[in-house]
Amino acid sequence: MKKQYILHLFKHSNLNLYNRFLIKTTFSLFFIVLFLCKSYNILAQENNDFTTTSPIQFLSEYIRIPSVSGNENQAAYFLMQACEEKGLYIYKISDTIGSVNFAASLYPLDLKKPNIIFHNHMDVVPAGDSCNWNYPPYSGTIANGKVWGRGSLDNKGLAIIQLFTIEKFVDLASNKDLPYNVTIVCVSGEETGGFTGSAIVSENFKEIFNPVVVIGEGGAGMDNIAFLDKAKIFFGISITEKSSVWLKLSYNVQSAGHASIAGSDYAYKRLIKGLHKLIDKQQPIQITNEVKLMFSEAGKNIGGIKGFAFKNLDRKIFRPTIKKYVKKVPEFESMLCNTITVSSFGEIYETTNQTPMEVHATLDCRLLPGTSTNDMIDIIYKAINDSSLNISILKPSPPAYTSYPDFFFHQLSISIKKIFHDAEVIPMLLPASTDNSYYRASGCPVFGLNPMIIEAKQMNSIHNFNEYIDIEDINNGILIFEDFLQSLLKPI
């Protein structure tokens, strides 16, 4: 009996050892396979031949790297590697989590050559529910003559146009002494105000880069514009833009309690009444110098009675017509008026049957050149006229400065017309806000141009579902910028 027991223990012990051996061997094999897979992926990334990849395929790969603001690092390293492999000189400005900013140039920056700067941002806004997209938002799908995905138009497509243009001059720069350096500056955080990107890059910008001009995002080619000649294509090159400020409106009333006995005065009621006063009030029309220049140039090209009216927009006789357009056409209003948009509501308490003492709403305000943040705060206080209202600043942007058309503006115009023969080019006020203001504030001329025709449907896809860029637009954009640089980069 004892012998059988010992034999049983021996078999059981061997079985345990065998099982343990199997488990260890399985785990070892698993980690070996995992290591090999990771090594293969890293090797595959390192072996990307960016020198032979087409602009369209490159953009598709770039879109596949999600880079929502604060998470740009992987996309930045991908783009930086491509710039280096294409023969550009890399200059790192910052490299921390959520704030990678770099430049890539034909010549080293320490040569201090006069510098033509192309600017883009690597971050994108969130994609939202992928079910609302025709193609997955980070797939970079190439279909129907378009590249689809978040950032395709805003702003990764522009980056690819800039990079593949500059690449064409690498060999020339290595063999000849050109009068200008050309640099592509890639930044983080544009979609969240530029604080992790252009606010950093613009410090000592003139000393580091020796810029003669900056060309960033902004205007574009437009057709079928309601208030212009629909038979013509107009290219707008932005010379200024609205500044932005995000404001928090807070109401604090000394009463709170059960919602069933709230009475006639409670915080949310005051907030809603105040917002009604504010939103229902049409902001006054302001004919700024930039708007006068824009419509005057458009008027020269349109001709006739409408052209005369555009050239004399500030005359009182045309005010009734302008007011009509402001009410009917949002794009017209955005260029002639400050705008105030309610973007969110909030409160301290979240209990549905309790009326809170404090509530707030946030406003996205876009200000014309000449209107300061304090001016806008005063406008809101006067419109609402409630002593329980408090306004605080959440996020300001730099003031709006203007770069009036110069030599580089006119060279861009010539290059646009070579590709789009019937196009008219006009200086424009961009009704949105971009990073361009940081560089204008540093004293550098800045022009905003997406060198493509953007249709209304495409424009509506920005920060929305089903964002895309036409393949034809990428190719035409490269041709425009290439012609622009060819006109300037004559060997010394």
pLDDT at 265: 77
User: What mean pLDDT is reported for the chain?
Assistant: 88
CATH architecture for segment(s) 243-396: 2-Layer Sandwich (3.30)
pLDDT at 25: 46
pLDDT at 33: 36
> Region 307-316: what's the mean pLDDT?
88
User: Which residues 6+ apart lie within 8 Å of 24 measured at CB?
Assistant: none
Q: Is the pLDDT of residue 37 over 60?
A: no
* 370-407 pLDDT tens trace: 999 999 999 999 999 999 999 999 988 889 999 999 99
pLDDT at 356: 81
| Of 148, 134, 122, the residue nearest 69 (C-alpha) | 122
pLDDT at 35: 38
> Region 51-73: what's the mean pLDDT?
95
Strand partners, 362: 248, 344
Predicted confidence band of residue 86 (pLDDT cuts 50, 70, 90): very high
User: Contact, 431 vs 468, CB < 8 A?
Assistant: no
CA distance 123 to 492: 38
Strand partners, 110: none
* 233-261 pLDDT tens trace: 899 999 999 999 999 999 887 766 666 66
pLDDT at 327: 81
pLDDT at 324: 84
Q: Is the pLDDT of residue 269 over 80?
A: yes
pLDDT at 227: 60
Predicted confidence band of residue 263 (pLDDT cuts 50, 70, 90): low
* 459-478 pLDDT tens trace: 899 999 999 999 999 999 99
* 131-175 pLDDT tens trace: 999 999 999 999 999 999 999 999 999 999 999 999 999 999 999
pLDDT at 17: 45
Predicted confidence band of residue 230 (pLDDT cuts 50, 70, 90): low
Residues of the chain with CATH 3.30.70.360: 243-396
pLDDT at 266: 84
> Region 427-431: what's the mean pLDDT?
95
Predicted confidence band of residue 3 (pLDDT cuts 50, 70, 90): very low
Residues of the chain with CATH 3.40.630.10: 55-240+400-486
How big, in percent rounded to 5, are the helix, strand and coil portions of the chain?
A: 45, 25, 30
Domain 55-240+400-486 has CATH 3.40.630.10: yes
pTM: 0.86
Helices (H), 303-372: 304-311, 319-328, 330-336
User: Which residues 6+ apart lie within 8 Å of 385 measured at CB?
Assistant: 277
pLDDT at 306: 81
For strands 181-187 and 243-252, give the pairing.
unpaired
| Of 403, 485, 408, 409, the residue nearest 445 (C-alpha) | 403
pLDDT at 47: 52
Residue 470 token pair: 């036409």
CA distance 149 to 133: 9
Strand partners, 396: 245
Residue 396 token pair: 């300001």
Predicted confidence band of residue 287 (pLDDT cuts 50, 70, 90): very high
pLDDT at 231: 65
